[in-house]
Structure 1
Amino acid sequence: MDTYSFEDFVGDTDVFFTQYFDRRPLLRRGALAGRLAGLPSVRQLDDVLALETVPPSYLRVTKGGKGVPSGAYTRTVARGAALAEALNPEKVYELFRSGGTVTWNSLHHVLPSARRLREPFADAFATEAEVVVFATPARTDGFSPHHDSIDVFVVQVDGTKTWRVWDTPEHRRGDEGSYTPEELGEPALEVTLEPGDVLYVPHGTPHAAGAKSELSLHLSVGVEPRRWRHLLQDTVAALVEDDDFHAFPHLADGAEAAVAALTAKVELLRDRLARLDAADEVKRLLDTGRSRHGAGRTREFARLAAIDTLGPGTLIRRTVTPVEFGSTADGKTGLQVAGHRLNVPDAVADALRGLDGERTVTAAEFFPGVPEARSVGVARGLARLGVLEAVGAARGAAGTADGGH
């Protein structure tokens, strides 16, 4: 089964980020030609539509450029004593046959193939990414000219679709918007995408698309890269977690006292920012972005199964899961990790400290001075909490979330 890298979609990443990203559209003919078998397909959409457990909110139908009310393609079903809305496959098919475009939002919540498509984008931008699938009947326009508030990477999977894309405006609105053809004039790019083609459309760029002589299926990976304001908010939020910012101010104490107190805290924050190690902070922002809900792929059962086979000779290392080291008493050190409070032998705490960075040790040698079996058992216990991992496993905390055209 194919795995995909970000380069598969955009080509040379240096060229992409210096010449296209946030500037202008990019068309890559045949970027995934011959490698579409691992992506969501028409057949898989039939399977998903048959799942009564998928909420109707994941699907929408548009016809003639307007949304179709969900009541036209849902039905009420009894689940025990409760009633719930479910998709009605026959009504969805009927709308499609009569010219409606069917859109699946957040398909990565349902299909592993969609998650595989999303992962390289979530990793490249260190943020969430969403996979949306558009099925358009033959000889049907999808949506009228519009722009999206996010960057969109289009992959044509089945059939063909003609795209009209206008120049990316110098000043862009942050929300979504639609246009009339008269407002836009001639498009800067008019192209018919074939299976395997990839098209990048920066946020705020007007575009429109329509199917040709056969059913069209294309996937859109939507990404909203974090702006400087988002990154700096994250940095400041991490700094003010310090106990020095924990007290409750009483701003009604008097204007002079409140101003003096705020000035002192601003100066303290300014000092912390001045002493910030930028390289370490960039790494932290990347790690936190890639572990955000919706940015990764959960493989917890597989991870736990691998831990059970961890042996004496297995090389292990620390993960990025935060560990708070507490006080030491009677040969034990307090730890707090992933909401758990532990008391471990001092030698175990020292071993964890010693594994900072990329250092490794065998599971048998992790807990020095004790029998091999006990050392392996302690290593397995900490691995289950996400503190340790076998070398070669994916970096990151345990339980990482899985993470219209």
Structure 2
Amino acid sequence: MRFRDFDAQAFLREYWQKKPLLIRNPWTEWRNPLEPNELAGLACEAHVESRLISEAADEWALEHGPVAEDRFNELGKAPWTLLVQAVDHYVPEVAELLDPFRFIPNWRIDDVMVSYATDGGGVGAHFDQYDVFLIQGLGRRRWELGGLCNDDTPLLPHDGLRLLAEFEPEQEWVLEPGDILYVPPQIAHRGVAVGHDCMTYSVGFRAPSRDELIAGWADTVTSGDNDDDRYTDPDLAMQANAGEISDDALARLRAMIAERLNDKEAFARWFGEFATAPKNDRIDWRLENPVTIDHVSAMFETEQVVLRNPASRFAYISEDGGEVLLMVDGECIPCGGTVAAFAKAICAGPRVEVTPDQVFADVSELTCDLINRGCLAFERGES
């Protein structure tokens, strides 16, 4: 799917993380990529994250999946909403919804959450800590937007839902199939289904917190066996008071920490692994019957299209000399020479066309490895 007429540069300049934007059906041809019964089927799977939210008499109820198959028949007439995370990992047609948003770096993309709601269904007024594009897939939904929120904004008491205690709408729209609403972080919003069979596709973006970054990076820099890397003071001078921790000692201690934390190359590698870590590390996509390097080499004797697994995260970091660090699902693969160009190509989009003159031994080896991990596949062929 593609946008018919959308100025990505203008959007980034005027709206991204600044203010909401309603985009009326920008698609060349909109088609809902997933049927409600297919979404319900995913919610019944144990490895798929899902939630069921209902409201009755101003009381909100939350159930975590997997959802029993007969549960939907028991819900009655009260408004309810089914939410299923990372549907793009399981349904290629939903993964295609991400393609028009590739003007935002891939590492920032989190997943596509899909919701189904009956008439009046919603998840209540809330705010998110990340950017989101809300794509109306089926039916209609009324969206109300309020002001900016923060950690001090009052919330309703609830164990599993972060719902606003007070909500004053400032803008309101009813979205039809194909319409998109962009909501920046911390903007209060509430969506309510208008009629039955309302489906919304939420393209969410990753926004690591400062604490997450510090904790993750600190764990990495302190995980090595560096017992000999200790404080030293060979030029220690007599102090007037032995009980004082001197400015000189504090400066040395700070420098010890800063030197390790400010390792630019090590941080880049760690962040690449951190940013591409799998959304659901409980799922193993590796092939039961691995392909051989001979098979991959034979496939590359003719023009091929290589596809990325929608559940896999790809990114790369450029190094001096034209080499790159390829990051795939939390692992770093150094790539130089001819394979560096191939690594960049498979990071650029979900599919890459490869001609025989572009393939060398290292390209086949990398492709074979990633196919067996379940990260890549040939569009045509046994793998």
Corresponding residue SS for 2:297: coil
Larger Rg: 1
Counterpart selection for 2:194 from 208, 212, 216:
212
**Residues in 2 aligned to 1:379 and 1:125: alpha-carbon distance in whole angstroms:** 22
**Residues in 2 aligned to 1:155 and 1:400: alpha-carbon distance in whole angstroms:** 27
Q: Deviations over 1:51-88 (max 9, x none)?
A: 5x4368623131235443649xx9xxxxxxxxxxx633
Equivalent in the alignment of 1:267: 255
**Residues in 1 aligned to 2:366 and 2:77: alpha-carbon distance in whole angstroms:** 55
Matched to 1:205, the amino acid is I
- Report how far residue 201 of structure 1 moved: 1.4
Q: Deviations over 1:247-274 (max 9, x none)?
A: 26789xx999999888556435645777
Counterpart selection for 2:296 from 302, 309, 317:
309
Structure 1, unaligned runs of 5 or more: 75-85, 323-337, 341-348, 367-374, 390-396
Kept in 2, the 8 Å contact 1:128–1:223? The answer is yes
Kept in 1, the 8 Å contact 2:25–2:178? The answer is yes
Equivalent in the alignment of 1:190: 172
Q: Over aligned residue pairs, what C-alpha RMSD do you find?
A: 5.3
Q: Does 1:41 align with 2:26?
A: no
Q: Deviations over 1:262-298 (max 9, x none)?
A: 8556435645777847xx977x588546532129999
Instruction: Point out the structure with the larger helix share.
Output: 1
Equivalent in the alignment of 2:69: 89
Structure 2, unaligned runs of 5 or more: 156-160, 232-241, 304-321, 344-354, 377-383
**Residues in 2 aligned to 1:321 and 1:303: alpha-carbon distance in whole angstroms:** 25
**Residues in 2 aligned to 1:291 and 1:261: alpha-carbon distance in whole angstroms:** 39
Counterpart selection for 1:144 from 124, 129, 135:
124
Matched to 1:19, the amino acid is E
Counterpart selection for 1:154 from 123, 128, 134:
134
Matched to 2:110, the amino acid is A
Kept in 2, the 8 Å contact 1:151–1:201? The answer is yes
Equivalent in the alignment of 1:61: 53
Cα gap change, 1:364/1:147 in structure 2, threshold over 3 Å: closer, same or farther?
A: closer
- Report how far residue 204 of structure 1 moved: 1.7
Equivalent in the alignment of 2:278: 293
Q: Does 1:178 align with 2:159?
A: no
Corresponding residue SS for 2:207: coil
Q: Does 1:28 align with 2:1?
A: no
Cα gap change, 1:113/1:314 in structure 2, threshold over 3 Å: closer, same or farther?
A: closer
Kept in 2, the 8 Å contact 1:136–1:215? The answer is yes
Cα gap change, 1:259/1:154 in structure 2, threshold over 3 Å: closer, same or farther?
A: same
Kept in 2, the 8 Å contact 1:163–1:208? The answer is yes
- Report how far residue 310 of structure 1 moved: 1.6
TM-score (norm 2): 0.61
**Residues in 2 aligned to 1:314 and 1:260: alpha-carbon distance in whole angstroms:** 67
**Residues in 2 aligned to 1:165 and 1:355: alpha-carbon distance in whole angstroms:** 50
- Report how far residue 193 of structure 1 moved: 0.3
Kept in 2, the 8 Å contact 1:156–1:193? The answer is yes
Counterpart selection for 1:165 from 145, 159, 166:
145
Corresponding residue SS for 1:113: helix
- Report how far residue 221 of structure 1 moved: 2.3
Kept in 2, the 8 Å contact 1:142–1:209? The answer is yes
Equivalent in the alignment of 1:320: 325
TM-score (norm 1): 0.58
Q: How does 1:274-289 map to 2 (within 5 A)?
A: 276=264, 287-288=272-273
Q: Deviations over 1:339-362 (max 9, x none)?
A: 99xxxxxxxx9xx865585499x9
Q: Does 1:14 align with 2:9?
A: yes
**Residues in 1 aligned to 2:16 and 2:289: alpha-carbon distance in whole angstroms:** 35
Matched to 2:35, the amino acid is S
- Report how far residue 150 of structure 1 moved: 3.0
Kept in 2, the 8 Å contact 1:300–1:398? The answer is yes
Kept in 2, the 8 Å contact 1:363–1:379? The answer is no
Kept in 1, the 8 Å contact 2:83–2:113? The answer is yes
Kept in 2, the 8 Å contact 1:168–1:206? The answer is yes
Matched to 1:137, the amino acid is T
